[in-house]
Structure formats: C-alpha cells, structure tokens
C-alpha cells in the first residue's frame, strides 16, 4: 500500500510500509557507502591519513549545518507536532542532545575534539568551504525542509540509523587500525550511541525517534509529496548523496596523494 495524502494508514500498515522503505535504505547504504572504496579501505587500515583528514574536515562542517536544520524543523513542522504533542518531549530531547551533550554547544565539542586529533584546526572545520560533493546531501535536505513537505523531510532522515552503524565502523577503524585512543575518536562513539541507543537518562535513539515520527505521519494521513517526489525517493536520494560525498572526497584525496 502506497501512502496517500489524507488517507490514514492503520498502525500495522504504516509499520509494514516503513519497514520496507527502511530495509531499502539500509541495502542502498551498504551498496553506496559501506561497499565503496572509501569505507572498505578505511576499515582495512589502507586509507591514507590525509584522505581521512580531508573527509573529516568536510564532515565536521556538514554536521554543524545539518544539526541546525534539525533544530529548524522543530519550528517549521510545529503544526504537525501540535497535533501529536506526545512527540514534543522526545523531539525537544533530541534537539537538546545535539546542542547540550556533553555540554554546550553539544556535539560540536566532540567533533572538534576528534578534528584536533586528526591535525585539523577550528578554521579548517568551521570556516573553510566544503567540497561540492560534500555539500550535495546538505543542500538536498535543506531544500526538502524549506521547500518540501513534512513527510519529504522526515523520510529523508531515515539515514540516521545507518549513520549510527557507520559511526561504529569509523570508531573501530580509528582505534584498531590507526592507533587513535578512545577520547580521540570520541565523535564517532558519541554518534553511534546517539543514533542507535537510548542514552543520557532516557533520550531516545535518534533513528528510533525519526521512525516514530514517520509512523505517525502515515497514520495521520499526512503523507503529502510534491510532483516528482515520493517518500522512497527522499529517503534513497539522501543515501545516494552520502555516497557521492564519500566517493568525491575519496577521489579528491587520492588524486592529491598521487601528486606527492
């Protein structure tokens, strides 16, 4: 059953549809990101540190902007959450988690801690322009938030679950293959926990919260999309653009390595 605007799904119908799309997202992530050259070489300890550094320089800049978009979605989609006030508390906890844990300004601190371990300065991460390939997914999500519908944005956020597993793979690689200590790789351990697990006295894992919102969207009959967009398209295109980020940075980095 494909969701339609103003057609409410039962709880079981919504769950079945969401499970199907989520399974496609996970398969696509494995194809576009996990099995790509960047992640395969990282996990094997064969990716040059300069390429890892280039990636994190761009990823750090990305994380700051994507977190502000998530916070902005609280305002942009307030009408939906007013109808589902039971979701307001976990949504507030999710936003606060990004900006308050372990202390203000939140995850920026652990990101900069790992950046420093990689030899990156604050200027490198906060003020240097991102590579175009690194910006594509950010600009796609920004367009969905400001120009799209509630459903389009939230289905694009199905990527938070695979990002949690991706962060775990990064943490293992840095600590087992590249000699990083736990505190140096703290950004990735923090994000594995935040995206996949309940943490900090009851903050819902971000992936689980996103699925709860999507389920409610389907049950509410709020699955509005624009022409040329579908819920699956928003979810899978987000995955594809994370793949573009990895592939583009890998190609830039390896090209620069060969010039040395």
Q: What is the pLDDT of residues 2-11, one digit of tens each?
A: 788 889 999 9
Q: Which residues constitute the domain of residue 171?
A: 11-259
* pTM reported for the whole predicted model: 0.93
Where does residue 247 rank: exposed (0-12), middle (13-18), buried (19+ CB within 10 A)?
middle
Q: CA-CA distances (angstroms) from residue 201 to 72, 198, 247?
A: 24, 8, 38
Which residues pair with residue 4 across a beta bridge?
Answer: 7
Q: Which residues contact 235 (CB under 8 A, 6 or more apart)?
A: 21, 24, 25, 155, 156, 158, 159
Would 4 be classed as within a structural domain? no
Please report, for the domain that includes residue 120, its CATH number. Answer: 1.20.910.10
CB-CB contact of 236 with 242 (8 Å): no
Nearest to 144 by CA among 59, 236, 226: 226
What is 164-197 written as a DSSP string?
A: HHHHHHHHHHHHHTS---TTTTHHHHHHHHHHHS
Would 5 be classed as within a structural domain? no
Q: What is the pLDDT of residues 42-83, one digit of tens each?
A: 999 999 999 999 999 999 999 999 999 999 999 999 999 999
Q: Give the dihedral of Cα atoms 127, 131, 133, 137; nearest 10 deg.
A: 10
Would 233 be classed as within a structural domain? yes
Nearest to 222 by CA among 96, 65, 87, 98: 87
The whole-number pLDDT of residue 2 equals 76
Nearest to 166 by CA among 53, 58, 59: 59
Mean pLDDT check: name the lowest of 33-47, 66-80, 96-110: 96-110
CB-CB contact of 241 with 32 (8 Å): no
| pLDDT at 130 exceeding the cut of 60 | yes
Would 1 be classed as within a structural domain? no
CB-CB contact of 42 with 176 (8 Å): no
Helix axis angle, 49-76 to 132-147, nearest 10° = 10
Domain count within the chain: 1
Q: What is the pLDDT of residues 164-211, one digit of tens each?
A: 999 999 999 999 999 999 999 999 988 767 555 554 555 556 778 999
């Amino acid at each position: 059953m494909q969701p339609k605007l103003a057609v409410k799904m039962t709880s079981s119908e919504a769950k079945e549809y969401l499970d199907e799309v989520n399974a496609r997202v996970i398969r696509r992530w494995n194809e576009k990101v996990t099995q790509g050259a960047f992640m395969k070489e990282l996990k094997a300890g064969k990716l040059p540190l300069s390429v890892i550094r280039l990636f994190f320089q761009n990823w750090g800049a990305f994380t700051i902007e994507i977190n502000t978009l998530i916070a902005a979605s609280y305002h942009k989609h307030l009408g939906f959450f007013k109808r589902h006030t039971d979701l307001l508390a976990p949504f507030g906890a999710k936003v606060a988690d990004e900006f308050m844990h372990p202390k203000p300004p939140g995850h920026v601190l652990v990101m900069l801690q790992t950046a420093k371990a990689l030899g990156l300065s604050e200027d490198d991460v906060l003020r240097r322009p991102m590579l175009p390939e690194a910006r594509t997914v950010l600009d796609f999500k920004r367009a969905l938030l400001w120009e799209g519908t509630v459903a389009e944005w939230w289905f694009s956020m199905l990527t938070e679950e695979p990002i949690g597993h991706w962060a775990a793979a990064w943490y293992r690689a840095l600590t087992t293959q590249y000699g990083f200590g736990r505190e140096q790789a703290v950004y990735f351990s923090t994000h594995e926990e935040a995206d996949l697990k309940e943490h900090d006295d009851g903050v819902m894992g971000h992936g689980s919260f996103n699925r709860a919102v999507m389920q409610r969207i389907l049950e509410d009959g709020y699955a509005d999309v624009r022409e040329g967009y579908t819920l699956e398209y928003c979810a899978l295109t987000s995955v594809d653009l994370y793949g573009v980020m990895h592939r583009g940075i890998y190609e830039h980095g390896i090209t620069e390595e060969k010039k040395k």
